[in-house]
Structure 1
């Protein structure tokens, strides 16, 4: 957060859990959920089959300063590859899971086509921060294009587990295009099917009054298997130690307390329970403030869905990460954030 002479108001969103407290007494034999690239088929609460199907593969020729390359692109997908090496499409999905204890098995893959491609376009570096009048550097690792290795090695990768407001999740990446630059050959898969098997697990703890919390649509948009997940997962409400929580937590300095309190009063009129806290009550360092927010998240009822930091950096410190100041880490209170 850059220091300013004016009041700076930073809002932090603490994502809310929106789940039924228990699943149906009688589960369907199976449940199928589908988007434009992936089908999720629940066989039971511990078995999930995921099938990726290649929607479309776009191919174009690009002329560069060192010759002609071919680009391969899947609409709305990303890429993998080190800078200067072949840039290959990757489709990323985030799915909600009942436990981090799971195993993965590849059930089936279908090689649609083997295609001759002289050179796939290399991955480039990030765009420059400014228009300095200089031509951007074109990155090309010639040694990578002389390597007789097909990559990526695996068609599916599971990584980056975490929690989002009580809900465990995992990131799945599908790599439907493999490429051997030495043999100038691309292997194109149109179907990849895997099976996730979850270990036995306890019910997931979720907060009370979930249906009144925000972000229901956001959860549906983030987790591609959301409906199947809530159909096949058991939830319970944890015991809370405090009953004096709030929906909207404002943390401020004495200089701005009156203004923050006015905002809190207005939030009350909109239906949100709001609470105003002076940093003199909880501490002025990043660690002290972050621990206060974490404690509120873990013990209050209701626990905050929003946190507003009211004041500039000399009163509510920001952290310096990745070459910039940020307040993001105040909101990392769940799981391995």
Structure 2
């Protein structure tokens, strides 16, 4: 059952840090924890650490620049430039999957309009010379992005099929002038009806040891999933995963 706890926090949550305001959520660092990982479900818990808000002037009006350590900015031109977190998980080779929000604990803050993204600029483009543009999201009385988390299309990384989960720990309602901040989010990736996109036709029950560091860095549930497979070197020798 989805449980939503919403509380409005006072402005005392803020502290000044090098010209920016630090909004503490759970601590200095964001934590993504695998609570459960098996063939029928992967359960993830996200505890954002915090973020900074810095004010800038656009056409004589104050706007907020939001930055979160360990997160990347959304690059949708003309939409609020908000941070997102990403974690990749191993999923079944030939199963369609979907994401569900299991628990969401949030609080709401009053805020200046968030600066719009200038999009994904080439390296030879000076961002300072690209004007801001305000797209349709600024006229809608809804939160942007519209969901707290979403799945990418499935991809194949040599020995595994995976998806990337995007988490949106800060969402913005430009009309109301508010931020919805996630304090704790629990999501599950579970089997779904329908034809699986990009299925993986596995031809062997082993994985290559040379790719272990890549898998360990990429997939947050790698340790739980890797025990199902033998590990081989390029020479074909088995080794034990610890």
| Fold shared, TM-score > 0.5 on shorter chain | yes
In 2, distance between residues paired with 1:236 and 1:182? 54
Please name the residue that 2:84 is paired with: 90
Change (3 A) 1:98 1:148: same
2:190 aligned with 1:192: no
Give deviations 1:52-107, integer Å, cap 9, x for gaps: 11122221112345532111221121122521221111111111122342343321
Question: 1:194 deviation in Å?
Answer: 1.4
Change (3 A) 1:121 1:198: same
Question: 1:142 deviation in Å?
Answer: 6.3
Question: 1:210 deviation in Å?
Answer: 3.0
Q: Is the 8 A contact 1:166 1:205 kept in 2?
A: no
Please name the residue that 2:208 is paired with: 210
Change (3 A) 1:160 1:149: same
Question: 1:198 deviation in Å?
Answer: 3.9
Q: Secondary structure at the match of 2:53?
A: strand
Work out which of the two has the higher radius of gyration on C-alpha atoms and give 1 or 2.
Answer: 1
Give deviations 1:256-306, integer Å, cap 9, x for gaps: xxxxxxxxxxxxxxxx9xxxxxxxxxxxxxxxxxxxxxxxxxxxx9xxxxx
Give deviations 1:86-143, integer Å, cap 9, x for gaps: 11111111111223423433211001x21111211110134454378x9512222165
Please name the residue that 1:123 is paired with: 117
Please name the residue that 1:219 is paired with: 215
Counterpart mapping for 1:103-122 below 5 A = 103-111=98-106, 113-122=107-116
> TM-score when scaled to structure 2?
0.70
Please name the residue that 1:49 is paired with: 43
In 2, distance between residues paired with 1:125 and 1:43? 35
Q: Which has the higher helix share?
A: 1
Which of 224, 229, 233 lines up with 1:228 in the alignment?
224
Q: Secondary structure at the match of 1:228?
A: helix
The total of aligned residue pairs comes to 201
2:174 aligned with 1:176: no
Q: Secondary structure at the match of 2:78?
A: coil
Q: Which has the higher strand share?
A: 2
Change (3 A) 1:148 1:194: same
2:138 aligned with 1:145: yes
Change (3 A) 1:206 1:69: farther
Change (3 A) 1:43 1:85: closer
Q: Is the 8 A contact 1:166 1:206 kept in 2?
A: no
Q: Secondary structure at the match of 1:90?
A: strand
Q: Secondary structure at the match of 1:190?
A: strand
Question: 1:208 deviation in Å?
Answer: 5.8
In 1, distance between residues paired with 2:207 and 2:178? 55
RMSD over aligned CA atoms reads 3.4
In 2, distance between residues paired with 1:126 and 1:209? 36
Larger mean Cα displacement after TM superposition, 222-231 or 179-188 = 222-231
In 2, distance between residues paired with 1:101 and 1:181? 35
Greater relative contact order (Cα < 8 A, sep 6+): 1
Structure 1 gap segments, 5+ residues each: 1-34, 238-246, 248-271, 273-300, 302-337
Change (3 A) 1:49 1:67: same
Give deviations 1:8-61, integer Å, cap 9, x for gaps: xxxxxxxxxxxxxxxxxxxxxxxxxxx952111226442221111112222111
